[in-house]
Structures are given as structure tokens and as C-alpha cells.
Amino acid sequence: MAFLDQLKDYLEGIGQARPAFVPDVAAHRRHLLSALEELERRGKPEIDVRWHQSYWAWRLEPFASELGRLLLEGFAKGLPVDEISALINVSLSRALGLYVTAGSAVKDRELDRLRKLAAQAVTGTKEPEFDFARYAREIRAVARAGEHWTLTPIGKLLVDLPARDAVRWLLTVEAVQSRGPKDEWRLSRSSAAELLRSSDGTICEDQHLGAPVASATLRRLSSLEILAYDRYIGGGLTEFEIRPEGRPLLEEVASGADTPLSVLAEALLQDETSAVLGKVRPVVTRIQSDGAAAATTRHARMVVHEVRNALVPVRGALDDLYRDVERSGAGAALASHQDAIDGGIDRIFRFLRDMLNVAALGAEPAEPFDVAPAIEEALAAVAEEFGARMSFPKNGPLPPVVGHRRRFTLAIVNMLRNAAQASSGASAEVRVTAEAAAGGDELLILVDDSGPGVPSEHREAIFRRGFSMRPGGTGEGLALVREVVEQEMHGQARCEESPLGGARFRLRIPVRQRVDQ
């Protein structure tokens, strides 16, 4: 499986912790075009200018990445990114024959030497069929750590898994992060379902015609040997065939059901996000433990469910076997083994019951806490992830409420993330307000966004687990909001129209004094 092997090779190289440099390719390409125009003004033959433009068409990004890495290892170590980018532009100009200096003859000679090394790394190679570096960043298999790229737990697990398990892990990671059918880097659950529904073996991949699967995703699934991606037949349609070994993988993605891998992926992504956000506001890292505890509990319940389902028919079959053996007159032989068999099965059932009990013990007791700091933590978490403007005007002290503070914060994070995903553009806005209500007996929290809003017929359904209006969404975020606010804090969670033009989420939570009565 060439695709998987190449991806693992790339990740293993990242694991060597080489200095990281992600070039601003667009800026370097603008510089290159300006330099080529300068060559034309100086009378350079058009055939030579065309050759340079063709040569650098796809080599520019790997060249800039390699030269940036060499500069970080060499005389530019410790320099800010903009100065390294300037040196790369100087090197590009010198590669075209333009006299531009790095500041001194000594630096020019060293820069020329590094330029030749970088050029050797990309010259003579074939145009890459896939951008593994971009893909690794998109699925969060790698992360920047200071001056280095490092493997995240997602990437480490991918490298260590055998081939078919690695493909399953890859699809799981894509699905839990997908932004919908148009996402070129991650397969969505709805896209997997559409592939399974296409009984005639054709799929539309023209985005202008509402393609349910991105073309890049189809090609990637073919490279992973999940699809036999055949040929374009016109009208925006392409023929394909789901390989036998690929069908159960697509069915698992399309189902959206919790699996051990999906629970693990969600927990790792939550932990990674919390760790990054903790650098902005260290207290935000407390959200991380809740994500891990919730994942542990879900996984425990899933294991118990699957093992019980497997053991119940086994126990029934054994009872039938015992009766048959007794009728055959071999009851004495059976008696010598029956206690050991029954005792072993009973022990497994007791273990499953204890496993659930231990998982339940991980929940913290409900305690009074101040809401404002929790909302601020949630805002800090989501503001780093999305570009929408977020505000939380303070109108005096708020009464304390009783609940699990970490789960409350995570619920607010999910609500803010939902609002931010719905809002887009330079004017996107998310506003949070909180105040005492009902004569001081309740706390009212409003979350408004400037997105498209939620149709009235869906305003109740969006709180149901598994329901999502966003393509590729899991339908878990707002379900957690209702679970925390209504089941744990005895309040209400509602959705309505916002004065900002989008959706308003209204939370009513009893304050501490009312709960204590």
C-alpha cells in the first residue's frame, strides 16, 4: 500500500525532530513572479523565463521548506521567521541570476551553498502526487514544538499500527475531524454513507453540481485500496467500486457509532487541544481531564456491552449442551468440569459489573462554583481555535451554581464551538451574557451568534445525541450541553432566534441557594 508506506515514511522522518520551517508559499511565489518579471524587463529570452517559471511551479514549496530547515540549522539559527523568509527570497533571486545580496559576501557564499543543497534535494525528483506534509498537519498527526515538528499521539499510533489497522485508524481520525463533504483532507461520515448508497457504482465529484465527496478524498480512498477509483464518464460522474476489504471500514465511518478507535481519537484530540489552549490560559488545561474521564467511561461501557453481548448466547448454548450431555448419560464427566466453566463465566460478568462501577467512580461530586471564570476559560479555549470575535461583558457578580465545574466548562466550550462554526467571515460574532434572573433564584446565560441560525423545526432536535445540521458533525456537542444543564444541574437548555441574526442558546440554571433548600 504505497500511500500508507509513504505517509509512514514521512512521519518517521518527523519523529527525528528536525528543525521545523513552514514557508509562506504564497509570499515566496509572489516574490518569484516579481523576479521573473524583472528578468523580462532586462531582456532575458522568453524561453528562459518560461523554463524558470515551469521549473519552480511545484518545486518552490519543497525548496523553501528545505532551505528554511538548512538555514535554521546554520547561520540563521534563532532568527525570526520573517528574516528567514527574506533570505529564501534572496536565494530565489540569486538562483534566477539576479544580483541580490544577503548583506555580505561571506553570507552570500554560504547562502549559495545552502541553496545548492536544497536544490539537490528537490531537483530530479518527480512532481509529488500527494502533499503528505499538509495532510499530516490537517489530520493533526504532527505538531510544532518550538523549532521542531514532532509526532502527536495520533501520528505515533499511525506509525506503529500494522497496515489494515493503520488504515482504519486513519479513517477514524479523518471522520472525527471532518468539516463535511467538501473537506478535501478528511472523509466525512455523510460522504462514506453516500459512497455506500451509490449502488450503480457512480459518484458525482463536481463541486458545482453538489458533489457528496471531494475529488481528493476519492483519490485518497483509492490509494488506501478502499475504492477502485476508475474513470471519469462525463456529466460530473466518475465510476468507482468499493473493494471488499474497504466496505466494512466505510460502514463503520458512516454509522457514526462509538468504537474504541473513535473514542480514543476524540480523547487524543481533546487532550491536544486542551494542552495547546493551556499555553494561552493555563487553567484551561483542567478541561482536559474531563475529556479523558468521559472517554474512559464511554469506552468502559462499550467494552461491557460488547462482551456481554458475546457471553449471553455462550451461556445459553452451554445450558443446552449441559442438558444434551446429561441425556446422553455422560453427566458424571460433565460434572467434573461444569463448576470451572460456570465459575469462569460468572467471574467475567462480575468483572464487567465492577468495571462499570469503577468507571462511575471517576465522576466528581457536584459542588458550588462561580460561573464567570468557567465561561472565561471556555472563551479562551474556543477563541484560539476559531477566528470569530467573541465577547463576554461583565455586569457585576454572578450567583454561584452547583454542578461539575469541568463538565459545565466543557459544555460551554461545545456551545461556543458550535456558534463559531456557524459564524464565518470578517463580521462573524459570538456574544455571551450572564445575569441573575427569576428574582435571584436562577442564572440566565445567553450565547448569541451571527450565523444562519437554526430553523424552528430543528431547535429541539439539535440537542438529541447523533443529530447534527453540520455535514460531518457528530451530534455530540449540544447533547452534552443538555445533559449537563438539565440532568446534572436541573436547569433548562433552549435554542431560539438571536438578535444577531443567528442562533441564541438560552440556559437557565438554579443558583446555589435554591438547590440547597
Looking at the chain, the whole-number percentage of residues with pLDDT higher than 90 is 19
**Alpha-carbon radius of gyration of the chain:** 29
| Cα–Cα distance, 390 to 431 (Å, whole number) | 6
In order, the DSSP letters of 155-191 are HHHHHHS-HHHHHHHHHHHHHHH---TT-SSS--HHH
Tell which wins on pLDDT, 438 or 89: 89
Q: Which of 204-213, 326-335, 378-387 has the highest mean pLDDT?
A: 326-335
Looking at the chain, the whole-number percentage of residues with pLDDT higher than 70 is 79
Cα–chain-centroid distance for residue 182?
A: 15
Angle at CA of residue 367, ends 363 and 372, nearest 5°:
110
Superfamily grouping for domain 367-516: Histidine kinase-like ATPase, C-terminal domain (3.30.565.10)
Structure confidence at residue 284 as a pLDDT band (50, 70, 90): very low
Structure confidence at residue 282 as a pLDDT band (50, 70, 90): very low
Place of cell 514544538: 145
Lowest mean per-residue pLDDT among 31-45, 74-88, 348-362: 348-362
| Cα–Cα distance, 440 to 371 (Å, whole number) | 15
Lowest mean per-residue pLDDT among 232-246, 295-309, 379-393: 295-309
Residue 288 above 80 pLDDT? no
The mean pLDDT of 173-182, rounded to a whole number, is: 88
Length of the chain counted residue by residue: 517
Place of cell 548583506: 103
On whether the CB atoms of residues 449 and 429 are closer than 8 A, the answer is yes
The confidence score (pLDDT) of residue 234 equals 66
The confidence score (pLDDT) of residue 351 equals 64
The mean pLDDT of 420-430, rounded to a whole number, is: 74
Residue 382 above 50 pLDDT? yes
For all residues of the chain together, what is the average pLDDT?
Answer: 80
Instruction: Kindly list the domain boundaries of the chain, sorted by start residue.
Output: 11-130, 161-255, 262-361, 367-516
The mean pLDDT of 284-293, rounded to a whole number, is: 46
The DSSP call for residue 18 is P
Count CB neighbours of 283 within 10 A: 13
The confidence score (pLDDT) of residue 127 equals 47
Lowest mean per-residue pLDDT among 83-97, 302-316, 441-455, 497-511: 302-316
The mean pLDDT of 498-503, rounded to a whole number, is: 90
The confidence score (pLDDT) of residue 152 equals 87
Structure confidence at residue 15 as a pLDDT band (50, 70, 90): low
The confidence score (pLDDT) of residue 236 equals 66
Residue 188 above 70 pLDDT? yes
In which region does residue 438 sit, left (phi positive, over 0), alpha (psi from -120 to 50) or beta (all else)?
left
Please write the tens of the pLDDT for every residue from 41-62.
988 888 888 888 888 887 888 8
In which region does residue 29 sit, left (phi positive, over 0), alpha (psi from -120 to 50) or beta (all else)?
alpha
Residue 27 above 60 pLDDT? yes
Residue 226 above 80 pLDDT? yes
| Cα–Cα distance, 255 to 192 (Å, whole number) | 9
Count CB neighbours of 134 within 10 A: 13
Q: Say whether 287 sits in a helix, a strand or coil.
A: helix
**Which of 194, 199, 170 has its CA nearest to residue 182?**
194
Tell which wins on pLDDT, 86 or 347: 86
Place of cell 469541568: 406
In order, the DSSP letters of 58-77 are HHHHHHHHHHHHHHHHTTTT
Please write the tens of the pLDDT for every residue from 115-156.
888 888 776 555 456 778 888 888 989 887 665 678 888 888
